[in-house]
Amino acid sequence: MSGGSERIERVTAALGEANLDALVCALPTNVLLLSGYWPVVGASVALATRDGQVAVLAPEDERELAGAGWASAVRAFQPGANAVAAAREPLARLAAEVGIDGGRVGYEDGAFFEQSSYAAMYFYGAATAPLVQRALPRATLVPATDVIRGLRAAMTSENSRGYGAPARSPRSPLPRALRRCARACVSPRRRPSSKRR
């Protein structure tokens, strides 16, 4: 876990203003907003509570990446062919672990712009609300699009320090893996011969 204290303070303040006990997000940009971790394939879910707990449910092969953010709890699951069904029980356990057992829980319900980080990505979309309702049956779900948009619109001092510079995570294995892939996948350029035939 690293950084994120200003973002966590803003999230908890926004939850208090909206009278929400927790917020559940599945879009990669919103998972990043809550946890400091950018999902590679999009099957991750982030939870934030009004008392400042942040948790991430990530695919098993992204556990290390998720751990480089500021979530206090990171748990992994195997999304398989049906990520909604696969995430339900692990999400319920993770929510209980950070103290979400009911109350007013905000979720993504509106349209958002989303950047693509990979060749193909998974989005829970309209399945977000049913997933959260099944994982937290005693919770009252509350659409939280306006809360999320407000949080996305506000840069923190941590964000502005790196504004305009490429994002780096020294603990992340991704840049190293990408360099290895580039070396393995790209053959050296052939230099044209200076002699003409």
Sign of CA dihedral 74, 79, 82, 85: negative
With H, G, I as helix, E, B as strand and everything else as coil, classify residue 25.
Answer: strand
Residue 7 or residue 178, greater confidence: 7
Instruction: Encode pLDDT of 74-105 as tens digits.
Output: 999 999 889 999 999 999 999 999 999 899 99
Round to whole Å and give the CA distance between 22 and 38.
20
Pair 11, 23: CB distance under 8 Å: yes
pLDDT for res 3: 72
pLDDT for res 88: 96
Pair 25, 43: CB distance under 8 Å: no
Prediction pTM value? 0.73
Question: How does DSSP classify residue 50?
Answer: T
With H, G, I as helix, E, B as strand and everything else as coil, classify residue 5.
Answer: helix
β-strands 22-25, 45-49 pairing: antiparallel
**What's the number of CA atoms in the CB half-sphere (13 Å) around residue 74?**
23
What do you get for the CA distance between the two ends of the chain, in Å?
Answer: 63
Instruction: Identify the band that residue 190 occupies on the pLDDT scale cut at 50, 70 and 90.
Output: very low
In Å, what is the CA distance from 49 to each residue of 64, 122, 138, 172? 22, 24, 16, 26
Residue 189 or residue 85, greater confidence: 85
The set of residues, in sequence order, having a beta carbon less than 8 Å from that of 109 and lying 6+ positions away, is 128, 129, 143, 144, 145
Instruction: Encode pLDDT of 130-155 as tens digits.
Output: 999 999 999 999 999 899 989 988 87
Round to whole Å and give the CA distance between 50 and 32.
17
The widest CA-to-CA distance across the chain, in whole angstroms, is 80
Q: Please name each of the domains of the chain with its CATH number.
A: 5-163 (3.40.350.10)
pLDDT for res 118: 63
With H, G, I as helix, E, B as strand and everything else as coil, classify residue 60.
Answer: helix
Helix H or strand E segment including 57: strand 54-59
Q: Check pLDDT > 80 for residue 117.
A: no
Going by C-alpha positions, the residue among 52, 72, 172, 71 that lies closest to residue 117 is: 172
